[in-house]
Structure 1
Amino acid sequence: MPRRSYDQYCAAARALDAVGDRWTLLIVRELLAGPRRYTDLHADLPGVSTDVLASRLKDMEREGIATRRRLPPPAPASVYELTPRGTALLPVLTALADWGTPAMGERRPTDALRAHWFAVPLARHLAGLGPRVVEVRMDEGVFHVRTDGGEPLYGDGPAEHPDARLTLDADTCVAIGGGLSLDHAVREGRARLETVSHGTPQEAPAGAGAQGQE
């Protein structure tokens, strides 16, 4: 099927030709965690059909946003990963998350939630921390974020060697995305930040977090 286009000589239109279809940017969000198998992508994108996911991945390969490769034995599986052009969409997703945060409101009964979905909006608020890898613990799960600009941006599950651990709930994650500073969240008792030294967590003092609006 030919790719739909706005047929406009406009940079925004060209960008939307490539990533404007439903699910595409959310697939990018998942691949910012590094290479993912098709089954893992499907599990973390509740609501997408297998046909649509396969179609979007093919479109992303054609646009040079993602690529597919075969893992060597003993794990002979295919994985998808972002190209540099795909990784360059991180500021776009960050801006969309900032823009969408005021519309979050109360979580609806039909809303799915994965803890690592907070990685993109939370990452820039952790960037002012000294630790290079921050493990984030929530009731919904655990993920870890790199704060030094390295790749991948985040990973699902605990970090192998975290420099700090941040414990908070989903409401506080949303509040931080909306402008609550991490320092303020720690002082209010809404979040707990611990540095990890030689495998031993130590609670960070208030004021050690990234600076932001309160």
Structure 2
Amino acid sequence: MSGMRSYGDPCGVARGLDIIGERWALLVVRDLLLGPRRFNDLLGGLPGVSPNVLSQRLRQLTEHGVVRRRDLGPPTRVHLYELTEWGRALEPILLQFGRWGSQSPQSPEGTLGIDSLLLSIKATVYPARAADLAGVYQFHIDADTCLAEVADDAVQIRRGTAPDPDATLTTDLDTLRAVCGHQVTMAAALDSGVLRLSGDAGATRRLTELLLAPFTPATRSQASGGADSCATVSG
């Protein structure tokens, strides 16, 4: 398949790495977890990858059954890439890997993309906390629209809209990074108009707490399984 090298080892770990072990492959999967994306969207979200390498990774992942290409046809003639059911099974593995990687002693480089920021919420909001933050929240971030549905024991985040969300946040990615990185307070961003919140006071408070949860220090005892709630899925 596309000249990929194999470890030649029947162990499941080695067989998995045969599929997703190439550079950029797992980050492609990460950026498809929230929903389908066009080639140029993936390219823009992976600084440093070349168009040729991205094409090769998508082809390899498609051949292995992790990703599929969906053609919308005329008049748009848009090609979308999305995870297969088998590909989506990588989500808990990837989120746990993000928790593990966030504990690296090395100083992080680069900036978090929108997918990494929102997946950090999913990775770190533990069930006991989710019950306090329950609701349906919409994020308009530049040209992206994403939906977070928080129930008693889970957080689901995907690209899409809801007819009547409890609260909505509208801003640009740079502002969102600055707020999450504690370079700008939420109050200052609201006062300047670069960030807007709509919904009743309780819902906007819960949305704010949900958004900042991965970037707010907390004790390990609060997180399920002893995971640190400051963990982020960075890339």
TM-score normalised per structure 1: 0.69
The structural deviation recorded for 1:72 is 3.5
Preserved contact between residue 167 and residue 199 of structure 2 (Cα < 8 Å) = no
Q: Distance in 2 between matches of 1:60 and 1:72?
A: 22
2:136 to 133, 136, 151: 133
Aligned to 1:121: 120
Amino acid at match of 1:50: P
Change (3 A) 1:143 1:103: farther
Q: Distance in 2 between matches of 1:165 and 1:104?
A: 36
Aligned to 1:5: 6
Change (3 A) 1:160 1:97: farther
Amino acid at match of 2:70: R
Residue identity over aligned pairs, in percent, reads: 32
Q: Which deviations, in whole Å up to 9, do the C-alpha atoms of 1:127-186 show, x marking residues without a partner?
A: 6246353345899x98543435697x3238x866433457883336xxxxxxxxxxxxxx
Aligned to 2:25: 24
Change (3 A) 1:132 1:5: farther
Aligned to 1:78: 79
The structural deviation recorded for 1:115 is 3.0
The structural deviation recorded for 1:30 is 1.0
Amino acid at match of 2:148: V
Can you give the 5+ residue segments of structure 1 that lack an aligned partner in the other structure?
A: 173-188, 190-195
The alignment partner of 1:102 has SS state of coil
Aligned to 2:41: 40
Change (3 A) 1:104 1:66: farther
The alignment partner of 1:21 has SS state of coil
Amino acid at match of 1:212: Q
Q: Distance in 2 between matches of 1:26 and 1:42?
A: 11
Q: Distance in 1 between matches of 2:168 and 2:51?
A: 36
Aligned to 2:67: 66
Q: Distance in 1 between matches of 2:46 and 2:96?
A: 20
Can you give the 5+ residue segments of structure 2 that lack an aligned partner in the other structure?
A: 170-175, 188-196, 214-220, 224-228, 230-235
The alignment partner of 1:154 has SS state of strand
Q: Which deviations, in whole Å up to 9, do the C-alpha atoms of 1:191-214 show, x marking residues without a partner?
A: xxxxx9xx73323578x9799348
Amino acid at match of 2:181: D
Higher helix share: 2
Aligned to 1:177: none
Q: Distance in 1 between matches of 2:17 and 2:55?
A: 19
Aligned to 1:145: 148
Q: Distance in 2 between matches of 1:16 and 1:125?
A: 25
The structural deviation recorded for 1:89 is 0.5
Change (3 A) 1:13 1:132: farther
Aligned to 2:193: none
Q: Distance in 2 between matches of 1:46 and 1:87?
A: 23
The alignment partner of 1:31 has SS state of coil
How do residues 136-175 of structure 1 correspond to structure 2 at under 5 angstroms? 143-147=146-150, 153-155=157-159, 161-164=164-167, 169-171=179-181
The structural deviation recorded for 1:35 is 1.3
Amino acid at match of 2:180: A
Aligned to 1:112: 111
Q: Distance in 1 between matches of 2:14 and 2:145?
A: 37
The alignment partner of 2:52 has SS state of helix
Preserved contact between residue 148 and residue 155 of structure 2 (Cα < 8 Å) = no
The alignment partner of 2:31 has SS state of helix
Q: Which deviations, in whole Å up to 9, do the C-alpha atoms of 1:108-139 show, x marking residues without a partner?
A: 4xx13323312222114446246353345899
Preserved contact between residue 134 and residue 164 of structure 1 (Cα < 8 Å) = yes
